[in-house]
Amino acid sequence: MHHDPLRALITLGPTHEPIDAVRFIGNRSSGRMGVEIARALQAAGCDVRVLAGPCSPDGLDSLPSVQRFRTAEELRDLLARSWPACDLLVMAAAVADWRPTNRFEGKHRRGDTAPTIALEAVPEILGTLASRADQFRVGFALEPAEELLASAKAKLTRKRADCIVANPLETMDSESVQGCLVWPDGHADQPDGGALVSKRAFANWLANAVLPAATARCRQR
Ligand code: CTP
């Protein structure tokens, strides 16, 4: 029987939440892991689309169909438009937790009184994204190593994800990772028995680990 390729949507990179016309609150996500996952899924035969935040990892330009977001709100809007036509979501974007409540008009100057920046929580994106029963969602969790598994399990439920890639905090902005993949029944898989591996090797392993379950789910339609 012939099947269309799985349509995979990968979000990657940080979000930048504006303070004024020239400043923002952001995080150190490089977007590299997301690029490697997109490449791995493409190599595995998926039809790949990417939503990328403000970052410029190597290889981003050679991926097909890259749309850009800056803020969490822009990411949420792009997802709302793109996700209905896709099968697999890999939510690798490092969404800001907090954003300024009010954005200053123009540029706040050094001679001005030092501003107090009031913050508000950024609304949850993955956990509130409308999905169908034939779609498969992979979330991420960036955690202190000692709480990795427990926090990832809690996020699996809170984010309504089908599995969670749990990474220790040190992963952000580094060359290699020591992550694992946590499933709803509580078991966790790791590449190379939990060794520190390159982001490329991790992404290849992840694509193989996720695709059988994602494909089975999407073939329900
Ligand atoms: N995420 C999201 N919407 C947010 C924040 C995060 O969809 N507002 C997604 C991320 O893309 C990632 C997953 O949720 O796939 C986990 O992100 P993480 O920053 O680890 O979790 P938080 O929800 O921010 O929780 P905490 O700050 O308690 O660790």
pLDDT per position as a tens digit, 174-194: 889 999 999 999 999 999 888
Distance 94 CA to ligand 1 centre (A): 7
pLDDT, one tens digit per residue, over 2-25 is 588 999 999 999 999 999 999 999
Q: What average pLDDT does this structure show over 144-166?
A: 94
Q: What average pLDDT does this structure show over 38-63?
A: 98
Distance set, CA 138 to CA 58, 91, 104, 164, 211 (Å): 23, 6, 36, 6, 11
pLDDT, one tens digit per residue, over 58-101 is 999 999 999 999 999 999 999 999 999 999 999 999 999 999 99
Kindly give, in sequence order, each residue whose CB lies less than 8 Å from that of residue 193, ignoring residues fewer than 6 positions away. none
Report pLDDT for 19: 94
SS3 154: helix
Residues 29 and 14: their CA atoms lie apart, in Å, by 5
Question: Model confidence at 104, in pLDDT bands (50, 70, 90)?
Answer: confident
Question: Model confidence at 42, in pLDDT bands (50, 70, 90)?
Answer: very high
**Structure tokens given for 126:** 């993955």
Distance 64 CA to ligand 1 centre (A): 26
Sign of CA dihedral 11, 151, 202, 94: positive
Residues 3 and 219: their CA atoms lie apart, in Å, by 8
Residue 134 has pLDDT above 70, yes or no: yes
What is the DSSP code string of 27-68? Answer: ----SHHHHHHHHHHHHTT-EEEEEE-S---TTGGGSSSEEE
Residue 121 has pLDDT above 80, yes or no: yes
* Domains, the chain, ordered by start: 7-105+114-218 (3.40.50.10300)
Apex CA 211: angle with CA 206 and CA 214, to 5°?
125
Question: Model confidence at 1, in pLDDT bands (50, 70, 90)?
Answer: low
Kindly give, in sequence order, each residue whose CB lies less than 8 Å from that of residue 157, ignoring residues fewer than 6 positions away. none
Report pLDDT for 220: 77
Question: Which of 140, 148, 153, 165 for mutating ligand 1's site (highest number of atoms within 8 Å of CB)?
Answer: 140
Winning range, highest mean pLDDT, from 112-116, 121-125, 165-169 = 121-125
Q: Is 186 left (phi over 0), alpha (psi -120 to 50) or beta?
A: left
Residues 127 and 130: their CA atoms lie apart, in Å, by 9
140 lines ligand 1 (CB under 6 A): yes
Q: What average pLDDT does this structure show over 106-122?
A: 88
Residues 109 and 112: their CA atoms lie apart, in Å, by 5
Mean pLDDT score across all residues of the chain: 94
122 lines ligand 1 (CB under 6 A): yes
Report pLDDT for 15: 98
Report pLDDT for 32: 95
Report pLDDT for 54: 98
Residue 198 has pLDDT above 90, yes or no: yes
